Amino acid sequence: MLRFEILTLFPGMFEPVLAHSMLKRGQEKGLLHVHIRNLRDFATDRHKMVDDTPYGGGAGMVMKAEPILRAVASVRADAQSNGEDIRVIFPTPQGRRLTQSYVQELAGEPRRIVILCGHYEGVDERVRLALNPDEVSLGDYVLTGGELPALVLIDAAARLVPGVLGDPQSVVEESFSESLLEYPQYTKPAEIEGIGVPDVLLSGHHEAIRLWRRKQALRSTYLRRPDLLRDRLFTEEDRRLLDELMNEGLVAAPISCREEG
Ligand code: SAM
């Protein structure tokens, strides 16, 4: 079972997402467990203070270290009493960019995954120094808090846990599996506003469909995310499909790539 422990000042942000679709199903099937803890419960002063003004002055409030460290200690003690360990993640715009390979690693994580949701101006630096968490960024922009990144992490990892999605094949042939973007998908009707569906998809010829999809995946990746193809080892088949794309003028220049040995 994939277990998350969320530390947040806004527990109410999670329920609406966790109560739907695959995340709901994953929990019902016992494959996913998400425990939400309110950081305010770990503030010990009379006013339950969880934030304070920054030393040195400046705008906004900073989340205090002690309630967070207490919350993490409490999760750790809980886990240890069950013979488990924890892994702490801090979503931050300063972290390393979230990737599918990181998400794959999380999906197989046997430890409880603690996600610390920052808010306001951020978190007292001593939390980072004391916990040495994985620092993960969703991208080069700033959100109001770590709650949405936490939900993104839960969603992306949970769908890779066998049994959460209806069809296990879905995660095999999608974007970023094998560092390729996915091929284009079509569903009924066969024509919309004069735009049809590629004939091959209606042919029932499984091998031709497989080759078409592979070629389209290579083309999409080449045109949209050439960085994913850099230093990639291509199979002989991929090389041939890329040559076809070039001869058809569908991709412009040869890709500098190596062939699989
Ligand atoms: N002052 C901080 C800075 O400049 O790095 C940003 C604080 S942000 C308003 C509040 C919280 O939102 C952060 O502590 C982090 O948990 C979360 N957050 C904001 N943008 C994020 C991003 N791109 N990726 C991951 N987490 C993010």
Q: Say whether both 24 and 138 belong to one domain.
A: yes
Choose one of 112, 143, 158: the last residue of a domain: 158
Selected residue with higher pLDDT from 166 and 224 = 224
Choose one of 158, 182, 203: the last residue of a domain: 158
- Residue 84 DSSP symbol: -
Atom of ligand 1 lying closest to residue 94 CA: 5
Q: If pLDDT is split at 50, 70 and 90, which confidence band does 89 have?
A: very high
Mutate to test the pocket of ligand 1, among 63, 142, 152 (most ligand atoms within 8 A of CB): 142
Q: Say whether both 122 and 218 belong to one domain.
A: no
Q: Position of tokens 């695959």?
A: 22
DSSP β-ladder status, 86-97 and 62-63: unpaired
- Residue 161 DSSP symbol: S
Which strand (E) or helix (H) includes residue 38?
strand 32-38
- pLDDT at position 95 is 98
Ligand 1 surroundings by CB, under 6 angstroms: 91-94, 117-119, 121-123, 137-139, 141-146, 149
Per-residue pLDDT tens for 190-224?
Answer: 999 999 999 999 999 999 999 999 999 999 999 99
pLDDT, average across residues 68-76: 98
Q: Does residue 179 belong to any structural domain of this protein?
A: no
Q: Does residue 142 belong to any structural domain of this protein?
A: yes
Q: Report CA-CA distances (Å) from 90 to 6, 31, 68, 196.
A: 10, 23, 11, 46
Atom of ligand 1 lying closest to residue 63 CA: 14
CA of 84 relative to ligand 1 center, distance in Å: 29
- pLDDT at position 174 is 82
Side chain identity at residue 54, one-letter code: P
Q: Say whether both 13 and 121 belong to one domain.
A: yes
Q: Say whether both 209 and 84 belong to one domain.
A: no
Q: Report CA-CA distances (Å) from 241 to 17, 86, 136, 172, 214.
A: 41, 45, 36, 20, 8
Written as six digits, the tokens of 36 are 């939400």
Contact between residue 6 and residue 37 where contact means Cβ atoms under 8 Å apart = yes
Q: Say whether both 20 and 149 belong to one domain.
A: yes
pLDDT over 60 at 256, yes or no: no
CATH number where 77 lies: 3.40.1280.10
Q: Which residue puts its alpha carbon closest to atom 26 of ligand 1? A: 92
Q: Does residue 88 belong to any structural domain of this protein?
A: yes
Atom of ligand 1 lying closest to residue 144 CA: 9
Q: Say whether both 134 and 65 belong to one domain.
A: yes
Q: What range does the domain containing 246 cover?
A: 191-259
